Structure 1
Amino acid sequence: MDSSKSIKADGFLIGVTEDRNKRCRRTMEDAHTVITDFNDVARQGFFAIFDGHAGKATAEWCGNHFHETLAECLNNPSSTSETVPEILNKAFLQVDQQVNEKEGKFSGCTAIVAYVQVKDDQRILYTGNVGDARAVLCRQGKAHRLSYDHKGSDAQEAKRITDLGGFMMNNRVNGVLAVTRSLGDSVMKEFVVGNPYTTETPLVEGDDFMILACDGLWDVCEDQAAVDLIKDIKDPQVASQKLLDHALANFSTDNLSVMVIHFS
């Protein structure tokens, strides 16, 4: 796949740009997934970014396999009344368990996952996240965040950790981890859970595009600023590169992965 070209698919136009950020990082620990016609349904999509820490093994495993676990959960619901957000939650917990049996003993990752479902001609966007990778929807030019930053600096999350018997030091769980939810990190699983924050958004006229990115972008760019930077750019590959360049120019110190998805 030519990384300088956007990916065209039924219902989507997608751009992905990534950069190790060599000024600050020796290795690239991010992974991403783009699947169109997801689960063999036209105009459905699965998009995800996994931001690894303490090595790239967990992020890489998730990049290769998360979509398989989600498809499995969607195709075999526990009951007819199980909702997609419930299924998404189940998939996150299953992936967390799978990865902890493999790579997760030593490494972990944050995750932002987006699933576009087609139901009776309507497309519905579902997102799930753990950690501080983020999804932002551009609706008529306005940024709508579809994720929640699970960080040690968040009072609600810090209370959850301390209530469980953990402690916060310098906004880090037990003085170690800056995120309070993740996949992997099995030694901290008692506190750093894999339960995602989920959203459900019927896509409507005026929902132009969505940005998925790891915290390397969001540490140096507000949601609305990101939308404003690219809302007039028709090619999502050019748009994703522009956001990445903006992050580098504003001294982001992290690996960078940026995905821009147009709902064509």
Structure 2
Amino acid sequence: MSPVAKHGDQYQLSYRVGVAENKNSKFRKTMEDVHTYVKNFASRLDWGYFAIFDGHAGSQASKWCGSHLHRVVEELLLEDETDDVRNVMNRSFLRVDQEINSELPGNSGCTAAVCMLRWELPDGVPEQSPELNEHKRKLYTANVGDSRIVLFRNGQSIRLTYDHKASDILEMQRVEQAGGLIMKSRVNGMLAVTRSLGDKFFDGLVVGNPFTTSVEITNEDKFLIIACDGLWDVIDDQEACEIIKDIKEPNEAAKTLVRYALENGTTDNVTAMVVCL
């Protein structure tokens, strides 16, 4: 497989991206979701950056992340290209969390689900190797909160994120050890997620360290779904994949997911991004 398909004199990306969103005005007065997509990320051919941020207590944090997080990731990535991308993601999330809390007014926060798709040479292959078919396509993910990334591989959904909710036993223990209290499945009775970017009111209890993954993309991988909890509150991973698996156009697939969420009673903003691989 070549990193890019050449069509005439134009290089075509090896992936296609679709996105759909809806404020859900029946239940929500404002839209606090933000999405970001950067093709040829870090000025590298056929790399991609995809992210969804779901804001709470205002949209300042989610908008800030939508505008800035990819720049921080790129900066840290290019500082040391031998560093594990998962480590780069972790450092980027922590820097952004700190910047939001020190620079933005208010106490807004946001969940984050971020993917980076890139081509790599396997260990032992010289960097200057001209053989494109030796490159492997790698996907790196990072998330805080309950926005989710799901990979559809060989007919099965694979969740690449971890739902950081106050109802989760491990997160509950971490918050309590940090001096917090879980009441009614909320941190100090107020916040349903235990990890986020921003939320300085909960500093030390709600942290910005993401859950990260790394996976090699193969011919069995068909698409990714990146979406906020407005979708996942009303559908499970496998069912979401099933209802779009035969839709070839990624924008139509994303619209189908958003429509499903609205028709099935979600009370939140809804954003879904579909990346066809």
Larger radius of gyration: 2
Match of 2:266 in 1: 252
Q: Deviations over 1:11-59 (max 9, x none)?
A: 2111100000001000000101000100011110000000000000000
Equivalent residues of 1:104, 1:186 under 8 A apart: no
Runs of 4+ more than 6 Å apart: none
Question: Pick from 176, 180, 186: which aligns with 2:190?
Answer: 176
Equivalent residues of 1:31, 1:60 under 8 A apart: yes
Deviation at 1:115, TM superposition (A): 0.4
- Stretches of structure 1 lacking an aligned partner (at least 5 in a row): 1-7
Match of 1:84 in 2: 85
Amino acid at match of 1:215: D
- Stretches of structure 2 lacking an aligned partner (at least 5 in a row): 1-10, 122-134
Secondary structure at 2:246 match in 1: coil
Matches within 5 A, 1:87-166: 87-103=88-104, 105-120=106-121, 121-166=135-180
Deviation at 1:105, TM superposition (A): 4.1
TM-score normalised to structure 2 length: 0.90
Instruction: Report sequence identity in percent.
Output: 47
Match of 2:48 in 1: 45
Matches within 5 A, 1:25-44: 25-44=28-47
Secondary structure at 2:70 match in 1: helix
Q: Distance in 1 between matches of 2:106 and 2:12?
A: 37
Q: Distance in 2 between matches of 1:30 and 1:103?
A: 17
Equivalent residues of 1:104, 1:185 under 8 A apart: no
TM-score normalised to structure 1 length: 0.94
Count of residue pairs the alignment pairs up: 254
Deviation at 1:104, TM superposition (A): 6.4
Q: Distance in 1 between matches of 2:106 and 2:221?
A: 40
Q: Deviations over 1:170-229 (max 9, x none)?
A: 100011100000000012121000000000001011111000000000000000000000
Secondary structure at 1:160 match in 2: helix
Q: Distance in 1 between matches of 2:49 and 2:232?
A: 22
Deviation at 1:103, TM superposition (A): 2.2
Matches within 5 A, 1:65-80: 65-77=68-80, 80=82
* Residues 219-228 or 82-91, more deviating: 82-91
